[in-house]
Amino acid sequence: MGAEFLGKLWSFFKSRKLAIFLIAALVISFTLGVLIPQAASRPDRFSLWASEHPFWARIAQALSLDEVFTSWWFALISFFFFVNLFACTWDQGARAWRLWKNRTSIKNYPGILAPVVIHAGLIVVVLGGLASAGFKMTGYMTVMEGEVRRELREEYEVLSEAPFFGLIGHRGYGIGLKKQERVLDETGKVSYIKSEIVVLDENKVLLEKTVEAGSPLIYKGLALYEYNAGFAPLVTITGPDGRELYKGFLFMQTLPGPPETTYQRKNFSVPGTSFVLDVRFYPDMVIRGGKVVTRKFSLGTPGMEVSIFQNGQEVVKGIVKKGEKLNFAGNSLSFGEVRQWTGLEVVYDPGAKILFGGCVVTLVGMALLYLKMRGP
């Protein structure tokens, strides 16, 4: 009875009709996931859609159509799909093996082997996806010139770890920014930024590479992507009694044009004070007729346009250059040292290579199938 049931179960799972049903179910699920705004990834879009179509939004929520890719029914379809894929591949592989052993249909063997290769490749793709879902880590950290950050949980400003990433753990490598360079286009605007990054083990340099958008540093599976970059002046605010109220590097965000690249920081609440700063930073400030005219992007004579707010009211607005002071309400603001910084997206994804390997196997199988197609 047990064997009979298992036999029926196996026949059910290796059924091609089930495969067709599941592929169709996946197509419908993906289509719903694209056409209906997904609350998980775009809550703003879903809220807008829900306000315009309250009836359909209620139905979507009731059926988890607003979170298709994390819904229980999508997980169930995916599970059945994987089991069906595995069973079909096993069945086809066993058949191909029998034919190989009996030396029958040798002429058509590539055509018989092709579906096995395609489906085996797809299994590897799914396993790669599962490895990513289980073990991936993505984090964000900023590194300034002259400092070394360590690849440890507490050093990240933003961190996302998959459930089983703890089994692998952080590596603890030192990560430093050696140099940064702005590459300009023919109009003189910043085209992209190159950051020379070093990976260290204690004081030993393990790897040194220039990273830029689309060209990460990869060391033993740990990939460092240049996410953003900019300048960081060391800002000091001094009180009426000469006491230092605040001293720290102010990270300027790089905002690409048009019309030009700007470095700025808005709504920065100064820790320990009631002041809020709006700052636009000029790496090489030239003033003519009371107006800032420079559009250079490399460090020269830096300066800042600063607006200081207190309790929502603008206290002062002015220009301050390196070594100068901007006085306001008995206090003063100045900046001295300017460093460059790079924001790094750090990714560890053991599933990526598995998945790409699976893609290659699948494509080889598909090419084999296509080349061995027999005529009508």
Partner 1 sequence: MASLTFKKEQWLRFGVIFSFLASLPLTAGIIARWIETGHFPYWGPYEVFTSYAWGALLFYLVVQLFKPNLKIAGTVVAPAVLLMTGIGVMSSTEMGDIPKTFFTYWLWIHIFFAKLSYGSVLISTALALSYLIKSRLEEKGATNPLLGKLPPLTKIDHLIYQFVAFGLVMLGIMIASGAVWAYKAWGRYWGWDPVETWALISWLVYALYLHLRIALGWKGKRSAWFAIFAMVVVVFSFFGIPLFYDSIHEHLNYLKE
**Which residues contact partner 1 (rule: CB under 8 A)?**
16-17, 19-20, 23-24, 26-27, 30-31, 33-34, 38, 41, 69, 129, 132, 138, 191-192, 212-216, 223, 225, 345, 347, 349, 352, 355-356, 359-360, 362-363, 366-367, 369-370, 373, 375-376
How many whole angstroms separate alpha carbon 322 and alpha carbon 320? 7
Closest contact distance (angstroms) between CB of 102 and partner 1 is 23
| Cβ distance to partner 1 smaller for residue 122 or 285 | 122
How many whole angstroms separate alpha carbon 341 and alpha carbon 176? 10
Instruction: Return the half-sphere exposure (C-beta side, CA atoms, 13 A cut-off) of residue 19.
Output: 11
How many whole angstroms separate alpha carbon 9 and alpha carbon 209? 54
- Cα–Cα distances in angstroms (integers) from residue 206 to residues 156, 168, 216, 346, in the given order: 21, 20, 15, 16
Closest contact distance (angstroms) between CB of 225 and partner 1 is 5
- Residue of 117, 126, 127, 125 lying closest to 359 (CA atoms): 125
Closest contact distance (angstroms) between CB of 234 and partner 1 is 29
b/e code 170-194 from CB counts within 10 Å (16+ = b): bbebbbbbeebebeeeeeebbebbb
Closest contact distance (angstroms) between CB of 223 and partner 1 is 6
| Cβ distance to partner 1 smaller for residue 70 or 269 | 70
Report residue 172 CA to chain centroid gap.
20
| Cβ distance to partner 1 smaller for residue 87 or 347 | 347
Closest contact distance (angstroms) between CB of 367 and partner 1 is 6
| Cβ distance to partner 1 smaller for residue 175 or 320 | 175
